[in-house]
Chains A and B, each alone.
Chain A
Amino acid sequence: MSVTKGVILAGGPSKGTRMRPLTLDCPKPLLPIAGKPMIWHPLSALAKVPGLTEIIIIGFYEDSVMSSFIKESKREFPNIGISYLREYKALGTAGGLYHFRDSILRPPVPQNIFICNIDICSAYPFQEMMDLHSKHRGVGTIMGVNVKKETAVRYGCIVVDPETQQMLHYVEKPESWISNTVNGGIYLFDKSLFDEIKVAMDEKTARAAEDPLIKPDERLRLEQDVIVPLAAAKKMHVYQSRDFWRQIKTAASAVTASSLYLSRLQKTSPDFLAKPSSNIIPPVYIDSTATIDPSAKIGPNVAIGPGVVVGEGVRVKDAIILEGTTLEKHSCVLNSIVGANCTVGAWARVDGAPEPEQDVKGQISVTILATEVSLAPETLVRSCIVLPNKSLNRNSANEVLL
């Protein structure tokens, strides 16, 4: 079997701004989604790919941020090499890959490399992509997903030949609609990708030399600078996934992503989740160190982190409750993310609207309580974003509480 490796593009601290205030205290890749760090989901899916020897995480975070996750992952997947490579300079997604080409290509030399963006949630259909890839033998296969026509222009849009699955055209965030098939953020490339990146780099340098109006930019992007010319040269193919897919850009989308992953885990690893009962409506993840009163009703779509205390008669639904938080008796948490070490008082209500299909500027859907927020008994917080260390003792709705 030919050697395959995986690369996860983890981004960096400046990239997680739309996830604030959650990412003020927790780097985005480590944000718990369905009971596991966001990055664990692509990583564990890659670890199951036959013949995959190594997973390389590339990002801007300090090594210390990622080290304990790397250590834990090595323990969980002992047969796979797992490492974190820190970028010091913004080279762009393709530039970063090229910069680390020696590490990626070191023996055992991979024939194919999976590349995953961190900010998506997906069923990771790696096997299906591999099957298509081995059939067409082009340079790359991208996972295409279908989105609603109204939202398509917010993504990288792909025109596919329905017969051959060949990519005919690629436009990143086009001004007008060209296709409902968009870039799902997962790629499978032949190792010759690095030759293609080199060509793209040289071309970019040449263009810059010819045209003094082009600002010198060392950044080389995978989508616009590499995939666009590859599509033009008919070297890209598209695997069209029909399975679930969502971009995780905003904090609100973390609740949706968590629900999708929980539903998947219910099918693939039911033992990882809490056992359904009259008061546990699946899918629910409850960390083994959390304390849940038997009269509390939890689920569906709930993930409860380590050390969380859930009191008598509490209701939690469509929510993520992070480490060390206490939900006092009869409180109710719906469509919300409650950050680490928060206290939600008795009969308090933390409530949000489900994440809308399209963000409306200035409108908050899911309620987010950042770290160490305390909510007085009987108060209501609805569709608010509450920043760290805030104590609330009055009702609030549709506000950012600083």
Chain B
Amino acid sequence: MAQTPGRILQQGYDIEALVKAGVKDIVLAVNYRPEVMVSVLKKTEEEFGINIHFSVETEPLGTAGPLALARDILGKDDSPFFVLNSDVTCVYPFESFRDFHLAHGNEGSIMVTKVAEPSAYGVVVTKPGSTVIDRFVEKPVEFVGNRINAGIYIFNPSVLDRIQLQPTSIEKEVFPAIAADGQLHSFDLPGFWMDVGQPKDYLSGTCLYLSHLTATHSPLLTDPKQNKWVYGGNVLVDPSAEIDPTAVIGPNVVIGPDAKIGPGVRLQRCVVLSNAVVRDHAWIANSIIGWNSNVGRWTRVENITVLGDDVTIKDELYVNGASVLPHKSISTSITEPRIVMCKLASLLA
């Protein structure tokens, strides 16, 4: 897999949120060192008063091996470190995650999120009435829980003693060992995103809910007879949203309070959260447009794209399956879904 460190800093992780949580060193675990990034990194380092290190894998080391490779930085003192893995869609509560970890005092913590269909994932099972992880069940055939690994961890440096500098899976080899010692806790991602779980599940759940409203003739739904721009039904628009009459909306669309939908916009199977603006002639399908976001004119957004809070997508772009962090501005097309990109470990000072 091509790893693109440039994008981590441009739109992958909210550096600011990490810095607020006390991060002083960031290790980018990559399989090549992009020389072109040096000046950008320098700027980021200066802006946030942090050190950014590259840890270059010369051979694939799995999901745990890169931690051993960065041992000198991660293990330089006793403070715990974050590990961020995979693409992300929101501001993670790094500070409360850190507080949670320090409070239980054990070796590691895993952030978990809820999904509707856990059978496709590895499920995290905790001991009754406790946050201590009991076991992991890979692709469960019967329901054991619906919390899955969100790909964000915090560890004490002692965990490095469990990892050899060789290809190692953090999920399959390291976690079960820490869990067996009763040293691994699960932390629920709080708020909206915990309920949302995976965006794909959120969208299908939304469709089911809208169909249910239609079946029960709910007055909450926008009436197609009175609003000519409703197409195909299952459309739920907050009365405070402004919809241009030349837009075509539906089926399966939810539009939040104070959102603005411009002329000639086409929306289907999507959720536009409060105060978002979708500008003229944009086309959106199968996506979530975050609060206060702005989608440019003639922009096409599709394929489970999720925009966080206050994201700006410039005019005429194509955004395919991207997850965009809050407060980001996107000015070039994202043509391929952004999947797991890069491992990033960071040290708490």
Contact = CB atoms under 8 A, between A and B. Distances in A.
Interface of A: 297, 312-313, 315, 317, 329-330, 332, 334, 347, 349, 351, 378, 380, 382, 397
A378 B173 CA distance: 46
Contacts of A347: 266, 281, 283
B316 A312 contact: no
A288 B264 CA distance: 27
A315 B298 CA distance: 7
Nearest to A313: B264
Contact of B316 (A315, A329, A330, A380): A315
Contacts of B266: 330, 347, 378
B263 interface: yes
Contacts of A317: 316
A382 B335 contact: yes
A313 B318 contact: no
B280 interface: yes
Interface in B245-276: 246, 263-264, 266
Contacts, number: 40
A349 B281 CA distance: 11
A299 to B, nearest CB: 12
B300 interface: yes
Contact of B264 (A312, A334, A349, A380): A312
Contact of B263 (A313, A351, A378): A313
Contact of B281 (A332, A351, A380): A332
A329 B318 CA distance: 18
Given A380-B300, A380-B318, A330 B283 contact: yes
10 interchain residue pairs of minimum CB distance = A313-B264, A315-B298, A330-B281, A332-B298, A330-B264, A313-B281, A347-B266, A347-B283, A349-B300, A351-B318
Interface residues of B, number: 16
Contacts of B297: 315
9 contacts: A313-B263, A313-B264, A315-B281, A330-B264, A347-B283, A349-B318, A378-B266, A382-B318, A382-B335
Contacts of B285: 378
A329 B264 CA distance: 8
Q: Which of B246, B281, B283, B318 has the most CB of A within 10 A?
A: B281
A341 B316 CA distance: 25
Contacts of A334: 316
For the residues of B in contact with A, the DSSP-based class is loop
Nearest to B266: A347
Contacts of B280: 313
Interface string B301-323: 01000000000000010100000
Contacts of A330: 264, 266, 281, 283, 298
Nearest to B333: A351
Nearest to A395: B302
A379 to B, nearest CB: 10
Given A313-B263, A330-B264, A330-B281, 19 more contacts: A312-B264, A313-B264, A313-B281, A315-B297, A315-B298, A315-B316, A317-B316, A329-B264, A330-B298, A332-B281, A332-B298, A334-B316, A347-B281, A349-B318, A351-B318, A351-B333, A378-B266, A380-B318, A382-B335
Contacts of A297: 298
A381 B263 CA distance: 23
A332 B281 CA distance: 9
A132 to B, nearest CB: 41
B180 to A, nearest CB: 46
Contacts of A329: 264
Contacts of B300: 332, 349, 380
Contacts of A315: 281, 297-298, 316
A317 B298 CA distance: 11
A312 B281 CA distance: 10
Nearest to A296: B281
Contact of B283 (A312, A378, A382, A397): A378
B335 A349 contact: no
A329 B333 CA distance: 22
Nearest to A316: B298
A37 B317 CA distance: 31
A297 B315 CA distance: 12
Contacts of A351: 318, 333
A317 B281 CA distance: 15
Contacts of B283: 330, 347, 349, 378
A382 B336 CA distance: 11
A317 B333 CA distance: 15
